[in-house]
Chains A and B, each alone.
Chain A
Amino acid sequence: MRKYTPKDNVQAKAYYTDRFWVAPRVPRQAVEDEHFKAVVEALGERVKEAYVEINNLVLHIDATQNYAVLETLKDTCGYKICSEISAVDYLAKEGEFEIFYQMLNLDKAKRVRVVCRLKKGLAIESVVPLFKSANFAEREMYDMFGIKANNHPFLKRILMPDDWEGHPLLKTYPLQGDEFASWYEVDKIFGKEYRDIIGPENRDPARIDRYDTKRFSRVGYEVPFDTDISSGETKTPIEYSTTFLTDYNTGTKQLDKRK
């Protein structure tokens, strides 16, 4: 039977894991600090779980209450700076995102991380009215994960182009990019019909063809110019991508034999 490869997480995986390996866990300490205790008390029942993990107080809350919780943190507990907002993709395992807000109290020099879980397809309330830094952070979260923030003043892609398809930090998004990503420049500048004419080998200037002796890439040893270096390699035969030349007058396609 062929080995099953999961499609919901296409990121790099460990190629070998000992079957008796159990990963240890970073200790989660109970909340003992005076200030942190006051924070948990101020938030009351909205906190589902609270613990201290590596100097940060971690508060698990419900995703619908994020605005109220951050407002209390800002007004009552003195967390005036929201240093980071982002998400973690758990769609493959649990069908939801984990969203975290990294908060900083300047007077006490304490940090709190507010964590909530959001089901796929749902939107979260924007915290831009509380923290202007959320403006860029939530736009990046939308760009990278596709999580929408309700009532954001200008929710738009920030790092990727406006007409991009897909959200790059999802675990389903391959590292090399998908089909849309690899043809993006060609499609945009010349049009989709030019994919055939340009061909995959001219698409990407950084593409490495291991049988290309002209550019001396990946050969590993010196050969005379234009030598066929594939002889004796039965297991990995030469795989030139086939390029078709389209004649738009007649609508016929013809294999490009110009190599």
Chain B
Amino acid sequence: MQVTNKLTPFFENLNFERDDNTMVINFGPQHPSAHGQLRLVLELDGELVTKAYPDIGYLHRGIEKMAENMTYNEFLPTTDRLDYIASTSNNYAYALAVEKLIGLEVPRRAQVIRTMLLELNRIISHLFFLATHALDVGAMSVFLYAFREREFAMDLMEDYCGARLTHSAVRIGGVPLDLPKGWLENLTIYLDKLPQNIKMYEDLLTENRIWKMRLEDVGTLSPEDAMSWGCSGVMLRGSGIPYDIRKEEPYELYGELDFDIPISQSCDSLGRYKLYMEEMRQSKRILEQLIEMYPQTEQKLMAHAPQYISAPKEEIMTQNYALMQHFVLVTQGMRPPKGEVYVPTESPKGELGFYIKSEGEPYAYRLKCRAPSFYHTGLLQEILVGTYIADVVTIIGSTNIVFGEVDR
């Protein structure tokens, strides 16, 4: 029996003394390849995983509870802390849900800027995935190269909004700032260099014998399981199901843009890795189209809805009524109409959706963040069984989970 006292608590799911020769090990919560705070309890028969139990909650901050106690605008910077690798995609998903609830039309220039930021965040997130995944599998140099590219992309984000990680670059009703001078030129320079960098990563990895041995037929996920486990994003497309929310349920400008949805029929980690590489190229294509769209838009950044959104600064400083409305919005917060909304968006990790139940108060009655990584973590308990311990890290890396989002 375990000797339990206050410093060595009793774990009912762990059995240290067994008759068979299986061994129970704890992977994490401080394992560098756990991508955050994942504790994985693995039952091993030799090197074969016979049972896997993901234990999460080490980064639980109660973000949904905080949402019920913050006004709608107050909550927006908190969404940065969900998927902190690509925070603009969280800001955007939340802002879009509130806009759908209110029924706002966002000005076109704001739409162009938002879509640009979303795609830039996708590149940042995919580069991060590539870097950490390669590092987990053992390819150190790719990590350094990919982080170099990610730094340049984060410099672009910094030039736009001043922050590198927690952007808060989107507001409910539009964007707060126009693009600074020279930003598009810098973006063009970045995009021109991106394909040759992606090609370099592929030259280093795709045909690499070790990389293929570590990834091919590892973490196979059948289409039925992918659907049943609620997978989304690359995990779903990696199993041969062509579903991308940007294409199927277009939001923002994605309906007008020309891009392809790559899918992979191989259902394994190598196929998913290839999808990430291809998606970066598609993001580049989208960004190039947006750069051409930008000059044709009018210089208006926030939607006009004085009941919900403060008027522009000039109006507040010159018109009494605009100032009064601004005062009410700042002190009390906006009151969206009663109703409920669920809006899905395609974040770099998968389907990121916000369910908001509004009772007509300045505080959301209930906010549920549908995080893709949460369901991809649940998947681990099935996908890991029957694999070898050496592949566990590959599979966790391949699911691309981020714990800010899993634990919320």
Contact = CB atoms under 8 A, between A and B. Distances in A.
Given A14-B332, A54-B101, A113-B342, A133 B375 contact: yes
Interface stretch (A33-41, A62-70, A157-165): A157-165
A168 B69 contact: no
Given A16-B332, A23-B337, A160-B57, A83 B230 contact: yes
Nearest to B11: A162
B365 A133 contact: no
A227 interface: no
B353 A88 contact: no
Given A14-B361, A23-B360, A83-B351, A133 B228 contact: yes
Contact of A54 (B57, B68, B341, B377): B341
Which of B229, B230, B243 is most buried by chain A, counting CB atoms within 10 A of its CB? B230
B68 A53 contact: no
Contacts of B343: 54
B31 interface: no
A190 B6 contact: yes
A31 interface: no
Nearest to B103: A26
B70 interface: yes
A52 to B, nearest CB: 12
Contacts of B64: 144, 169
A169 B382 CA distance: 29
Interface string B176-191: 0000000000000000
Interface in A166-220: 168-169, 173, 175, 188-191
Interface string B344-373: 100000010101011111110110101000
A234 to B, nearest CB: 28
B351 to A, nearest CB: 6
Contact of A175 (B65, B351, B361): B65
A135 interface: yes
Nearest to B9: A188
Contacts of B332: 14-16
A86 B368 contact: yes
A24 B339 CA distance: 9
A188 B8 CA distance: 10
B335 interface: yes
B337 A24 contact: yes
Interface in B357-408: 357-363, 365-366, 368, 370, 374-375, 377-378, 381-382, 407-408
Contact of B363 (A13, A81, A104): A13
B100 A54 contact: yes
Main secondary structure of the interface of A (DSSP, over half): loop
B335 A23 contact: yes
A100 interface: yes
B321 to A, nearest CB: 16
Contacts of A246: none
B360 A88 contact: no
Contacts of B56: 158-159
A131 B230 contact: yes
B378 A135 contact: yes
Contacts of A55: 249
Contacts of B351: 83
A26 B68 contact: no
Nearest to B60: A159
B368 A159 contact: no
Contact of B339 (A54, A144, A162, A168): A54
A219 B196 CA distance: 55
Nearest to B102: A26
A107 B188 CA distance: 37
B248 interface: yes
Interface string B113-148: 000000000000000000000000000000000000
23 contacts: A11-B363, A12-B68, A14-B335, A14-B363, A23-B335, A24-B338, A25-B337, A25-B339, A53-B339, A58-B340, A80-B227, A81-B230, A83-B232, A102-B342, A102-B353, A102-B370, A132-B229, A135-B378, A136-B377, A136-B378, A159-B56, A160-B60, A169-B68
Given A88-B365, A188-B9, 12 more contacts: A11-B68, A82-B230, A83-B351, A86-B355, A100-B355, A104-B344, A132-B378, A135-B381, A137-B230, A157-B57, A158-B56, A169-B64
Interface of A: 11-16, 21, 23-26, 28, 53-56, 58, 80-84, 86, 88-89, 100, 102, 104, 106, 109, 111, 113, 131-133, 135-137, 140, 144, 157-162, 168-169, 173, 175, 188-191
The 9 closest A-B pairs by CB, nearest first: A23-B360, A26-B339, A133-B230, A136-B378, A159-B57, A109-B248, A12-B69, A24-B337, A159-B60
